[in-house]
Amino acid sequence: MINFGFWVSLRRLYTEDIAIYREIRNSYAFRMGSRQCDLKTSEDVQKLLADKDSSIFEINHRGSQKGICALSDINHVHQRAEFSIFIQDHVRRLGVAEMALKTLFCHGFRNLNLNVIHGETFDNNNAAHRLFDKVGMVRRPGIEQAYYKDGVWVDSHIIFMTKKMFLERDYCHNEQR
Ligand SMILES: CC(C)(COP(=O)(O)OP(=O)(O)OC[C@H]1O[C@@H](n2cnc3c(N)ncnc32)[C@H](O)[C@@H]1OP(=O)(O)O)[C@@H](O)C(=O)NCCC(=O)NCCS
């Protein structure tokens, strides 16, 4: 369990957690907000959970699961990784994503010694952009027509935080609730 004193903790999912991960990944809410597609077979899910270059976490608060977040394509040579986050529909706007991202960054920069954590969003994902602005990430226009989603081409945004920016923000202090 990863807990840096914020009021959520992250539990790493392993191959025995296939059912949990598959249900979230294939949910309508996840697929709508995400660049990723549904995972058809248990083998697809198992491959992701067994991937040595990724860590997928369940976000927990007071014993119940609120969503998932992940670090993927972890590259120890360049000390970088891509992040993603999804919060269940019924617990949005309660600050869960903010706490989970801060915890994920503490883990990535302190435990894994990463130098940069980056991600990509749809151009029209205002909720995510405001969240990433709030936690102090940099956001830049990405690739035009990067994804074909629901019958239209969607541009992307690139988001990142460096270790230097992370240390300046001094995240790893207690924010209990
Ligand atoms: C984006 C997402 C992760 C936000 O999760 P959340 O738990 O609701 O976010 P929080 O409650 O921690 O919000 C933190 C800040 O983000 C911004 N924010 C979050 N949701 C917002 C919304 N719907 N509209 C406007 N701002 C929003 C606000 O600035 C908010 O701070 P405030 O409440 O003090 O104004 C959630 O909507 C989600 O899972 N979306 C689908 C998946 C996705 O888009 N993931 C990101 C791409 S990897």
- CATH number of the domain within which 116 lies: 3.40.630.30
Centroid of ligand 1 to alpha carbon of 69 (angstroms): 13
Is 159 touching ligand 1 by the criterion CB < 6 Å? Answer: no
Can you tell me the distance from the alpha carbon of 109 to that of 116, in angstroms, rounded to the nearest whole number?
8
- Prediction pTM value: 0.94
How much is the average pLDDT of 115-121?
A: 97
Report whether pLDDT(15) > 60: yes
List the domain range (segments joined by +) for residue 154: 2-176
Report whether pLDDT(129) > 60: yes
Mean pLDDT of the chain: 92
Q: Look at residue 176 in the predicted model and tell me its pLDDT.
A: 46
Report whether pLDDT(36) > 80: no
Share of the chain above pLDDT 70, in %: 95
Output the CA torsion sign for 12, 80, 102, 144. Answer: negative
Can you tell me the distance from the alpha carbon of 88 to that of 91, in angstroms, rounded to the nearest whole number?
6
What helix, strand, coil percent values describe the chain, rounded to 5?
A: 35, 35, 35
Identify any residues that bridge with 140 across adjacent strands, giving them in sequence order. 158
Can you tell me the distance from the alpha carbon of 125 to that of 115, in angstroms, rounded to the nearest whole number?
26
CA-131 nearest atom, ligand 1: 16
Q: Look at residue 43 in the predicted model and tell me its pLDDT.
A: 86
Total domains in the fold of the chain? 1
Centroid of ligand 1 to alpha carbon of 99 (angstroms): 11
